[in-house]
Amino acid sequence: MPKIDLAAVPAIKGSGYPPPFDVPCAHRTRQRVGDAGGLSNFGVNLMRLPPGGWSSQRHWHSHEDEFVYVLEGELVLIEDEGETILRAGDCAAFPKGTGNGHHMINRSHEAVVYLEVGSRVYEDLTTCSDVDMMSANADGRFVRKDGTPIGSVKG
């Protein structure tokens, strides 16, 4: 049946980032509704972001497009050009390969709910704009921008 039972889709709290990069995203929750519906070419996540929470570290993708649609609440979108308010009914698109890092922060006093949609490309490399971190879809590991594992001592 195509209808997805949201109550049956696990809510995953936090992010997969290694410490200390995980702290700003520690209280966000994600329900992988696209996976629950059997989608494989693109992902759809129902996201909940509490007051003060970040959607992610500011980042951009080499091979994946992203799209967000705000369902409830107000977010601040932060990218290279500055800040933009996104409210319920607003959406934003992030084309692959631009080098324009983006993320959203909930600076309001209410929780925010939004949809996050993205392509799934094996060759994608996610590069963080403000911290020394990147990750490849091919292996899912987080490394420094010079390729050394996070947690290792630079020589």
Q: Is 140 exposed, middle or buried (0-12, 13-18, 19+ CB in 10 A)?
A: exposed
What is the extent of the structural domain holding 30? 6-125
Burial zone of 70 (CB within 10 Å; 0-12 exposed, 13-18 middle, 19+ buried): buried
Residue 49 domain-assigned? yes
Check residue 84 and give its pLDDT.
98
> Is 137 contained in some domain?
no
pTM, full prediction? 0.92
Q: Does 41 map to a domain? A: yes
Residue 132 lies in a domain: no
| H runs (alpha helix) in 58-141 | none
Residue 74 lies in a domain: yes
Question: Has residue 140 been placed in a domain?
Answer: no
Query: What CATH number is given to the structural domain containing 79?
Result: 2.60.120.10
pLDDT score recorded for residue 83: 98
Question: How high is the pLDDT of residue 1?
Answer: 64
> Number of structural domains, the chain?
1
- Asked, for residue 145, whether it belongs to a domain, the answer is no
Give average pLDDT by consecutive 10-residue segment, the chain, 155 residues: 93 95 97 96 97 98 97 98 98 97 98 97 96 94 94 55
135 within domain boundaries? no
